[in-house]
């Protein structure tokens, strides 16, 4: 262990003088675990970007399982890389990451396992079948979006309870006319953007009806009639509800 650490310290001093490919080969030949871990940490951003390109969305290394798949793939690439194939290490690592993440996506979205996402072609090995990859990723994104929407709905339900509102209330009491829904959205937006009103709303767990009446051209009775709907709209805008918030775009007046 001590000898391995010494080798790592010696190597890191002249890392600037060595190519990444040379460092990878040193890891393979001398089993330098410390240097391997150093590269895994140094190239986390590269791994995250590579995984994000496959998944077509931002990947959070601290949350998303896909990043762990990419990290393992990068580690695998360190062990399997050979300069004789004529590729740079990062090009090779990017290819391995893509393959492993696509395999993960296929598994998660239960894509047809009888269809390979690759086909054999020459010495370069497996090549992508773009239409199959797009199909797998699309299904994966749909499944992922469905799960996240369900999570947001559950979280919103919990927050609404603090305000004495249920989802059934929203179904039964939501405004029927577009103008009424737009008015409710405007009030909720005003509430969210006004620091004092928002703090009252969050701390007292109720709409500040008296204060709102002074700021909008609607009667207190009208606001009170749509209280539960306005409450839900405000909570969606305040909280971390990107999927639910996307449904509100049509309510904002041009």
- Whether the predicted pLDDT of 227 surpasses 50: yes
pLDDT of 252 reads 66
pLDDT of 185 reads 92
| Average pLDDT in the chain | 80
Average pLDDT over residues 78-101: 89
- Which residue ranges make up each domain of the chain? 2-140, 162-251
pTM of the model: 0.48
pLDDT of 117 reads 43
In total, the chain counts a number of residues equal to 254
Q: How far apart are CA 37 and CA 35, in angstroms?
A: 5
Instruction: Tell me the CA distances in angstroms from 214 to 133, 179, 225, one per residue in order.
Output: 56, 20, 17
For residue range 4-60, list pLDDT tens digits in order.
443 444 444 455 568 899 999 999 998 888 999 999 999 999 999 999 888 878 888
Q: How far apart are CA 15 and CA 4, in angstroms?
A: 16
Listed residue (241, 231, 33) closest to 149, CA to CA: 241
The two three-digit tokens of residue 234, written as one number = 């405000």
Between 2 and 230, residue with greater pLDDT: 230
The two three-digit tokens of residue 135, written as one number = 């199909």
> What class, spelled out in words, does domain 2-140 have in CATH?
mainly alpha
DSSP track, 50-85: HHHHHHTS---TTT-HHHHHHHHHHHHHHHH--GGG
- Whether the predicted pLDDT of 149 surpasses 60: yes
Listed residue (176, 174, 184, 170) closest to 253, CA to CA: 184
Give the DSSP letter of residue 146.
H
């Amino acid at each position: 262990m001590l000898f391995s650490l010494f080798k790592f310290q010696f190597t890191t001093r002249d890392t600037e003088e060595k190519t990444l490919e040379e460092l990878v080969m040193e890891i393979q030949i001398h089993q330098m675990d410390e240097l391997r871990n150093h590269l895994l940490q140094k190239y986390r951003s590269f791994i995250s970007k590579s995984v994000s390109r496959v998944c077509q969305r931002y990947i959070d290394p601290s949350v998303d399982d896909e990043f762990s798949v990419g990290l393992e793939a990068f580690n695998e690439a360190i062990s399997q890389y050979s300069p004789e194939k004529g590729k740079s290490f990062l090009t090779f690592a990017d290819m391995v990451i893509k393959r492993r993440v696509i395999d993960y996506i296929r598994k998660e979205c239960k894509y047809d396992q009888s269809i390979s996402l690759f086909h054999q072609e020459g010495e370069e090995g497996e090549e992508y079948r773009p239409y199959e990859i797009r199909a797998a990723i699309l299904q994966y994104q749909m499944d992922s979006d469905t799960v996240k929407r369900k999570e947001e709905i559950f979280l919103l339900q919990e927050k609404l309870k603090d305000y004495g509102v249920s989802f059934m209330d929203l179904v039964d009491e939501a405004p029927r006319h577009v103008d009424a829904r737009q008015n409710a959205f405007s009030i909720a937006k005003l509430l969210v953007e006004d620091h004092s009103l928002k703090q009252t709303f969050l701390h007292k767990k109720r709409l500040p009806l008296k204060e709102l009446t002074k700021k909008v051209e609607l009667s207190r009775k009208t606001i009170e009639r749509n209280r539960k709907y306005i409450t839900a709209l405000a909570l969606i805008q305040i909280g971390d509800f990107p999927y639910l918030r996307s449904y509100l775009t049509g309510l904002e007046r041009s």
